[in-house]
């Protein structure tokens, strides 16, 4: 039952083509936000946007990887041309590339740091003018800036650790430090910065690995090593016996749905959290 929590707000959601990002996009649109979605994969992105438009929502999109060096500035230009100022940024795009630490390659480590930590940093920096800059101008004119929101997506792998996810856990822990620091730097501009740390949410990242989805990783710096420049196919998901064991540890006895995850993102994006900043909310079914 929409309540118009985001009426008149503009929002960017990265990774809006699938899973949690898509559910957040649908929820934000239903709550009245004007959206700018991004994803690395064009087909799900277009589909997500088409669905939202069909339901009467307003949405623009930009295809591209958040790890591409020029992506943040391309996005910022489009966002500023479309909306002028920006109210909400959700740093959601990402994937997993698991391996126990003693077998982990530098590329595996770096890939997770780039997508889950460096990309949010660069996107926030690129959108600083549309958020912090806009707030500063409002403050100068009226001595009040409207609330603005950054929602970063972390994981219980960061807050608790998770076998085989040293790279992912470290990057997702890094984004918590980034969140808490930015909450201090941008608090005076009435910008709230928070983190949702999800447990097991039912998406392709947490489906049984056997026969599950695949992700094509493009080497980060092929110019450094042309011999290793071929894309690597990563099998997403969790081995079924580990998934079953994980489910047993969740008091609610089930994974969360993308819609349930999106509800928490909406809380951090809405006026309901106007005096909440620098926080990390674990969303993990009671575990």
Q: Is 39 one of the binding residues for ligand NAD (CB under 6 A)?
A: yes
Six-digit token pair at 197?
């740390």
Window 65-84: residues binding ligand NAD (CB under 6 A): 65-67
Catalytic: which of 71, 97, 168, 198?
Answer: 168
Question: Which of 206, 273 has the CB closer to ligand NAD?
Answer: 206
Active site residue 168: yes
Among 198, 262, 264, 285, binds ligand NAD (CB under 6 A): 198
> Of the listed pieces 33-41, 137-145, 185-193, 245-253, which binds ligand NAD according to CB under 6 A?
33-41
> Of the listed pieces 37-45, 82-90, 139-147, 176-184, which binds ligand NAD according to CB under 6 A?
37-45
Window 49-68: residues binding ligand NAD (CB under 6 A): 65-67
Window 123-182: residues binding ligand NAD (CB under 6 A): 153, 155
Question: Which of 85, 196 has the CB closer to ligand NAD?
Answer: 196
Q: Is 200 one of the binding residues for ligand NAD (CB under 6 A)?
A: yes
Question: Which of 182, 200 has the CB closer to ligand NAD?
Answer: 200
DSSP string, the chain: ----TTTT-EEEEETTTSHHHHHHHHHHHHTT-EEEEEES-HHHHHHHHHHHHHTT-EEEEEES-TTSTTHHHHHHHHHHHHHSS-SEEEE-------B-GGG--HHHHHHHHIIIIIHHHHHHHHTHIIIIIHHHHHHHHHS----EEEEEEEEHHHHH--TTBHHHHHHHHHHHHHHHHHHHHHGGGTEEEEEEEE--BSSTTSSBSTT--EEEEPPS-GGG-GGG-S-EEEE-SB-HHHHHHHHHT-TTSSPBPHHHHHHHHHHHHSGGGTT--S-EEEESTT-
Question: Which of 137, 229 has the CB closer to ligand NAD?
Answer: 229
> Of the listed pieces 17-25, 101-109, 121-129, 239-247, which binds ligand NAD according to CB under 6 A?
17-25
Catalytic residues: 168
Can you give the binding site for ligand NAD, defined by CB under 6 A?
14-15, 17-21, 39-41, 44, 65-67, 92-95, 115, 153, 155, 198, 200-201, 203-206
């Amino acid at each position: 039952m929409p309540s118009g929590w985001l009426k008149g707000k503009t929002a960017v959601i990265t990774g809006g083509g699938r899973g949690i990002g898509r559910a957040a996009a649908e929820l934000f649109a239903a709550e009245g936000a004007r959206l700018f979605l991004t994803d690395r994969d064009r087909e799900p992105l277009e589909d997500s946007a088409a669905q939202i438009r069909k339901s009467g929502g307003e949405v623009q999109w930009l295809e591209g990887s958040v790890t591409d060096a020029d992506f943040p500035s391309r996005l910022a230009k489009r966002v500023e041309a479309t909306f002028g100022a920006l109210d909400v940024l959700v740093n959601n795009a990402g994937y997993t590339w698991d391996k126990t630490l003693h077998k982990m390659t530098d590329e595996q480590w770096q890939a997770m740091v780039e997508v889950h930590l460096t990309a949010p940093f660069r996107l926030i920096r690129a959108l600083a003018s549309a958020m912090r800059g806009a707030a500063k101008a409002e403050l100068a004119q009226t001595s009040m800036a409207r609330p603005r929101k950054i929602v970063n997506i972390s994981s219980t792998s960061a807050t608790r650790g998770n076998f085989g996810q040293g790279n992912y856990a470290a990057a997702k822990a890094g984004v918590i430090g980034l969140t808490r620091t930015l909450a201090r730097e941008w608090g005076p501009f009435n910008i709230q910065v928070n983190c949702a740390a999800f447990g097991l949410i039912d998406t392709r990242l947490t489906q049984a690995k056997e026969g599950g989805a695949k992700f094509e990783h493009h080497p980060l710096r092929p110019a450094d090593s042309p011999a290793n420049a071929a894309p690597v196919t990563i099998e997403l998901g969790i081995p079924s016996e580990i998934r079953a064991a994980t489910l047993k540890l969740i008091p609610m006895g089930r994974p969360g749905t993308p819609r349930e995850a999106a509800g928490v993102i909406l809380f951090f994006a809405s006026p309901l959290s106007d005096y909440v900043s620098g926080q990390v909310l674990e969303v993990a079914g009671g575990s």
